[in-house]
Structure 1
């Protein structure tokens, strides 16, 4: 018995954990449902707590440059203390709310290059090695986010990549310690004005702050510089707006001399109506509190169907893996094993 306790302290013959998600596909503001399945080891185990959390890969700046690390940004206690008997099988259900500001990882079934996301399960075992599990999570855009991404594609912008930057955007209310940047190469009609555009969504239950950062080209007597624009849209705007026209207007306004105001709170274009509620494509969970009338079919703006633009431009990009903070602290050792590296959770210097 003493030998078994010694082995258990080193993780040999201890309990095993396997978390199973009902559906790994989700959206900001929804929830992830699943079960934490435990099997007891060779000896009784005193479980101190079980916690699940979302982890992703975040870029940070330091005095020596930029580096990436794994961060857990949202967690939920699943269970308190209890004793797990030898070989006992236990299944604990949970429902983890997905924060509204959770970054997008997938568009039309394609992983955005540079994005990673996973659900980490941590089982704290008294006087023994803690156990953990990691499951891939796919975060799909909300309808209004999807329409805006599609509009960039229809305007001719080419997807470059996406990443998460640690920090806060001035003048924008954030609840998470990082923000997502979705990068595009300039469309031909903008190529003489800008090199690239970075798009950021900061989402809340009421709507979305859209932040544009344009890398503006220099002129004969002026140097190139970044210009910013900030716009507000409601979730209910998704199906009542010509988003190509709206995004084109945003870009023109941002790159004009008004863009030099650097995100001073430009309002949303006027005339947005309040359409019926929106739903989700088949196979994905629906947004709570809204009707489900089939987001994923043609929307009637100028006769275009959704899914052709953005879906096409990310399909050709190298697919990212899954990727990766609690209370803003980096947890480099939060994920382990070859599968974590395959998903893109490894930190690196740049």
Structure 2
């Protein structure tokens, strides 16, 4: 991107800032690197600090319905404490660690519709201003990819993905939101499930996998949601199709009991421990009632990504998803500019 964002709080003639990320998708818990490019204004300026923020578009439920907005989920100071000369060009390299729970935005280069961005804040002579929001791409960890591959091979199809404000009770969740990947049921489970929802909560020691089923009702029973949770180490290998199918079977056969699996075993390197319960007992009060998303921008994923039976839904294509990501960031920037202007005399 070009140097298109003038630091408005410094007035005409102030420095400009642009952040360029290194090519390729980052990984949860991995490194994010790039360069912050500065261009001096019409005078010397003292750069107090340069801060990089990670921003996500998150959906929230409340009494009046649903809304969405930007949430800053990490901040890093990557430079500062120097004077930027008049008209000087300077690049500040950075390398920071992403949170382990960073949501996955793409599979094999195809966007899921999750909107993440990197925004740079420059503090100059006591004044602060934010630069452009640049899209951030995050791919799956190997164990996440293996689980998604297994679901695809079992016949589950991608429907949508979004970020939900709130916490999943009983988990080690750290971020103020969690990612839901919504899947259509495999043929062998179509009579039992309306939808399967998947959440990954990664950490240094491994991965928590939260599965929620929207279960169909029977002749004498009503449909309801059921939740189960499993843990998997990062170095797990083996027959993923059998493992994941076992998870699904436990979920659909749930009868309201509290189940516990053996800890990591000797014969099964990815055997985890977990529990399942009705959804009402699975999420804490920070989230409120469960949100059901309709088809959104996450429904546009090219066929074959991660083995899931996905395709173009609702007339969208991947390029349009990218356009919507850019539009969201531009709207966020405009809102901030308006807010700053309203506060001026």
* Fold match by TM threshold 0.5: yes
Residue in 2 aligned with 1:214?
213
Residue 42 of structure 1 deviates from its aligned partner by 1.2
1:257 equivalent in alignment to 2:254 = yes
Q: Tell me the distance in 1 between the aligned counterparts of 2:332 and 2:51.
A: 14
| Alpha carbons 1:8, 1:128 under 8 Å: kept | no
| Alpha carbons 2:9, 2:129 under 8 Å: kept | no
| Alpha carbons 1:37, 1:92 under 8 Å: kept | yes
User: Could you give the per-residue CA deviations for residues 193-213 of structure 1, whole angstroms, max 9, x where no partner exists?
Assistant: 110000001101111010100
Residue in 2 aligned with 1:155?
154
Q: What TM-score do the two structures reach when normalised by structure 2?
A: 0.76
The residue correspondences of 1:267-278 to structure 2 (distance < 5 A) are: 271-273=267-269
1:144 partner SS: helix
| Number of equivalences | 288
Residue in 2 aligned with 1:235?
234
2:235 partner SS: helix
| Alpha carbons 1:230, 1:266 under 8 Å: kept | no
Unaligned runs of 5+ in 2: 1-6, 271-302, 336-345
1:130 partner SS: strand
Residue in 2 aligned with 1:119?
118
Q: Tell me the distance in 1 between the aligned counterparts of 2:325 and 2:229.
A: 27
Residues 26/65 of structure 1: CA separation in 2 closer, same or farther (3 Å cut) = same
| Alpha carbons 1:36, 1:91 under 8 Å: kept | yes
Residues 154/31 of structure 1: CA separation in 2 closer, same or farther (3 Å cut) = same
Q: Tell me the distance in 2 between the aligned counterparts of 1:323 and 1:265.
A: 41
The structure showing larger relative contact order (alpha-carbon pairs under 8 Å, at least 6 residues apart) is 1
Residue in 1 aligned with 2:142?
143
User: Could you give the per-residue CA deviations for residues 300-320 of structure 1, whole angstroms, max 9, x where no partner exists?
Assistant: xxxxxxx95635644535433
Residue in 1 aligned with 2:95?
95
Residue 191 of structure 1 deviates from its aligned partner by 0.9
Residue in 2 aligned with 1:287?
none
1:310 equivalent in alignment to 2:306 = yes
User: Could you give the per-residue CA deviations for residues 104-141 of structure 1, whole angstroms, max 9, x where no partner exists?
Assistant: 000011001x3111111111233657241222221100
RMSD over aligned Cα atoms: 2.8
Residues 169/86 of structure 1: CA separation in 2 closer, same or farther (3 Å cut) = same
Q: What TM-score do the two structures reach when normalised by structure 1?
A: 0.75
Residues 188/91 of structure 1: CA separation in 2 closer, same or farther (3 Å cut) = same
2:250 partner SS: helix
